[in-house]
Amino acid sequence: MNRVLPIIVTVLTVLIIGGGGFMLLTVLQPKPEQADEPPAGLSVFAEQVVQDDLVFTVEAQGEVRPQREVAVSPQISGRISYVSPDFIDGGFIRKGQVLVRLEAADYELGVVRAQSGVASAEQRLAREVAEAEIAIQDLKELGIENPSPLARREPQMAEARASLESARAQLADANLALGRTAVVAPFDGRVRSETANIGGFASPGQVLGQIFATDIVEVVLPITDAQLGQLGLPLAFAATDAVKGPEVLFTAQVGGQMREWTGRVTRTSAAINSRTRLINVIAELNDPYGEGADDGAPMAPGLFVTASLQGDRIEDLKVAPRGAIRSGNQIYIGDPSDGELHIYEVDLVYSDPDGAWFHSDEVEIGDLALTSPIQAAFSGMSITVLERMPDGSIKTHEPQRNREAGEGQDTETDETGEALAGTDSAEQASLTSTEGE
C-alpha cells in the first residue's frame, strides 16, 4: 500500500499539469480569420443586345419558263416549199419573219377565180340597176301610181347586191388563204424545236416547231402563307406602276460558275394549291438574253434557279442571340455588377439562326443576354457573366461584391478560356463544360 500511493500521486500530478497546459495553449491560441466570401455564381456566356432593322428574306426555288411560247403550225394545208435558215433548234427569230412557206399556186388560182366571181356579180348588179330604172320610167308613162316593189325590181337589185357581197367575201377568203401560205413569227424570240422539212406536206394545225419570246421569262415560286405575309403581299396580287412587287435575286450554276440575275415579283396566283397548300408567286426577268443577262449568261428557259425575295422591313428592333430566348417569349438577362440573373417577357417578332428580333420596354440596348443553358433558372439567381467580345475573346464580369472583397476584377481571355483571372478552378471547370454545350 505504501508503495502504490506514490505512484498514484505521481500520475495525478502529470495529468493535472498536462491538462492545465493544454487548456492554457487552447486559450492563448489565436483564432483564425474568417473570410466573408460570397458563394461563387454559375458561370454563363452572354452577348450584348443590339438594335437593328429586320428585313425579311424568303428563299424559294423554281424553273424558268418563257412568258409566251407557241407551237408553229399552218392554218391551211400544202406542201412546204421554204424553211427559214433561222428556224432551227436554238435559232433567233424576229417578229414578222417568215419561218415556213407553203406552195401558193393553188391558192393563187383561187384568188383569180374569186376575182372573176366579183366581176360577174358587179356586172349583174349594174344590169339590175339599169333595168330597175327602165321599169320605173315605164310605170310613170303608164300613169301607175304606187307600183309594187317587184314592179320596181327592188328584190332583183337586192339579190344582185347580195351576190356581189358574197363574191367579194370569197375573194377576201382566197386572199387570206394565199397569205396563210407564209407562217410568220408573232414575236422576237428563239426556236426551242423544229420538225419542218422542204417537200414535206403540212396539214392545218400540224406542229412544225416550238418558239418562245425572249422579252420576258418568269419563274413560279411556291411559298407558304407565312412567307407571303413576310413579303407583304396579298393573295391575288398584281403589280402596277404605283405598287411594285418585291425584288428577287435569282442564282444558278451555269457553265461551272454561279450566276445572278435580278427580277421582280409581278403577281401571285389567285388560289392556293389544294395538294401542297402553297401559294405560287410569279417573278419575272426582263430581256434575259440582253440587258438582263449576267455577263452574257442568260437566264434561259428550263434552268432551275434559287430565288431570294426581299420582303418587308421593320425598323428599330432589339436583337439578341436566338439561344437567349426561352419558353417562346422569355429572355434571360445577366446583371454583371450584381451577378444576378433577371427574366423578362418580350414581344418576339421573328427569330432564325441569325438571331431573335423583339420589342421590350424592360430590356435595354447593351444588356447582356445569356446564351448558356440554365436549369431551374429564377430571377435573382447568382451568376458570373462571361461576355463574348466581337474579337472572339471572353470578358469575365466579376460581381461588385467580389470586387469590394478584393478578389478580382473584370478580365479578358481568349475564346478557349484557359486562364480566367478572378475565377477559381470550379468556375473554370463550369466554363469549360458550359462552352462545350
Which pLDDT tens digit goes with each residue over 244-258? 889 999 999 998 899
CB-based contact 195:207 (threshold 8 Å): yes
C-beta separation of 210 from 185 below 8 A = no
26: which 3 cell numbers?
487552447
CA dist 247 and 307 (Å) reads: 10
d(CA 300, CA 298): 5
Helix (H, G, I), strand (E, B) or coil at 344: strand
Residues of the chain falling short of pLDDT 50: 407-409, 413-437
Are 217 and 299 within 8 A, CB to CB? Answer: yes
> How far is residue 27 CA from its own chain's centroid?
84
Determine the pLDDT at residue 24.
Answer: 63
* Farthest-apart Cα atoms in the chain, separation: 204
pLDDT at 403: 57
Give Cβ neighbours of residue 80 (< 8 Å, ≥ 6 apart).
Answer: 100, 101, 102, 103, 196, 197, 198, 199, 200, 201, 202
Q: In the block, which residue shows the cell 475564346? A: 415
Joined together, the cell numbers standing for residue 130 give 339599169
- What are the grid coordinates assigned to 222, written together? 411556291
Beta strand segments in 278-354, E:
279-286, 304-320, 325-326, 330-335, 340-345, 347-352
Indicate the pairing of strand 330-335 with strand 340-345: antiparallel
* pLDDT given for residue 436 in this prediction: 37
Residue written as grid cell 425572249: 214
Could you tell me which of 318, 233, 242 has the C-alpha nearest to residue 281? 233
State the Cα–Cα distance between residues 167 and 112, nearest whole angstrom: 12
Tell me if residue 419 falls in helix, strand or coil.
coil
Angle between helix axes 105-142 and 154-179 (nearest 10 degrees) is 170
Q: Which amino acid is at 293?
A: A
Cα angle at 362 between 361 and 365, to 5 degrees? Answer: 85
